[in-house]
Structure 1
Amino acid sequence: MTAVLPFFDFDSIDDWNPFLSETLSGIVPIEAIMQSQSTPPEYIEDARDLVIRNIRVDKKRLYGAVESWLCERPFRAYHGTRLFPDELNSIQQKGLVPTTIQDRVNRTKRVLQEHPDWNQLRLRFEPALHEFLNKHHQKVRAGQVHLTISRGGVTHGFNHYLVYGAEFDQRFIQLLTAQGRADIMKRGTTPYLLTFEMPGDVAVDRMIAYANKFAAIRNGEPFDLIRKLIGHWAWKQFFPEFSSGTQEEDLGLVFYEIVRPEWLVRAEEIQI
């Protein structure tokens, strides 16, 4: 009986590489591709292209096989943010809920009301909010929850969410204070890395939603994780010591509904 990968975690290539290799064994002649190269590829993208552009590889079949492979197993995704104790409890009980603009405004006020300069800041609050929404309306993630595929990405590559909190908070507080003092939003909050484990087909659907949101799928090409997976897998064949976690990838999943509380497998306080 073939072993089953318990869950897919992008950063843990040593865990998933053997299983993906098995799936691709009848589709990609990887040994022949490697032997045809006088020197190894210089970049991960080069290794990917050696596979995708090989005349013996049916790209449609390849992309379909990788997508099906992802759909068949639980998928881990991550969310980094700063939380008040009651917010952490709410996520554990109710899940990660898409917030409205008013939710973000109320939370910003909650933090600022404890600030020694609040009496001055509150006079500028409403005018600054109006200016902010006019300038950044398209960048406000109202009604959405964003997760990402890489723990290393959240904790190192783009850790500003752990340092300063939500993007709305970061941008608005910088406008309000006119001094770039986004560290104000740290007050009373703790940085947490939330790890979710969901059905693979749900994750694939939300990654496609994310790609469509940013018009990232064009000309019949697959969503970006498939191309990343092929590249990292191919690179691993050339360089067995390679670890995908070192790449700190930023590939997102977007939810327009609650990320279910039963999918939360860990809420980890991060020292940063």
Structure 2
Amino acid sequence: MGLTNGFNHYLTHGSEFDQHIAHQLLGEEGVDLLRLDGTGYVLEFDVPGPAAIAASNRHFSADEMIERGEVPNMVRDFLKVLSCRAYDPTFWPINQKTDCGLFFSKNVPAEWLLSAVAWQEH
């Protein structure tokens, strides 16, 4: 929900790379022009837990992080939401603007894709 509620500029202006190049070439006007190019889509995937944890820690395995006394970032985010919800039943994670990216070095199976919806700015 962070993507759609907190940092949706990726859906309107493209990747950070696109935004930086547009700014280098044309300044703020170049970044503004990105808004006119195409439609952003929100893709929803059902990624198996072990694959999601592995993909959320690009440089270290979850086991390596645990050995160093760290909690893998996706697990840390989940536990944070779970503990806040246990403390306050009215807590709703949609307002947290949490960001936990996943990096896959190979194509993900097509069957993991649940939906693809064109994003409409509110």
TM-score by length of 2: 0.82
Unaligned runs of 5+ residues in structure 1 are 1-151
- Residue 188 (structure 1) shift: 4.1
- Give 1 or 2 for the bigger CA radius of gyration: 1
Structure 1 residues 166 and 259, CA, compared in 2 at 3 Å: closer, same or farther? farther
Q: How many residues align?
A: 118
Structure 1 residue 203 displacement after superposition: 0.8
Q: Which has the higher contact order (CA 8 A, sep 6+)?
A: 2
Q: Where in structure 1 do 4 or more consecutive aligned residues deviate above 4 Å?
A: none
Which whole-Å CA distance do the structure 2 matches of 1:183 and 1:218 have between them? 46
8 A contact 2:12–2:39 mirrored in 1: no
Identity, % of aligned pairs? 33
Q: 2:21 aligns with which of 153, 156, 172?
A: 172
Aligned to 2:40: 191
**TM-score in terms of structure 1 length:** 0.40
Q: Please point out which of 96, 99, 105 is paired with 1:256.
A: 105
Shift, 1:180, TM fit: 4.7
Q: Indicate how the Cα distance of structure 1 residues 166 and 217 shifts in structure 2: closer, same or farther if over 3 A, else same.
A: farther
Give the structure 2 partner of residue 158 of structure 1.
Answer: 7
**Counterpart of 2:32 in 1: which secondary structure?**
helix
Match of 2:57 in 1: 208
Assess, with a 3 A threshold, how the Cα gap between structure 1 residues 218 and 168 changes in structure 2: closer, same or farther: farther
- Which structure 2 residue ranges, 5 or more long, are not aligned? none
Residues 227 and 160 of structure 1: CA distance in aligned 2, closer, same or farther (over 3 Å) = same
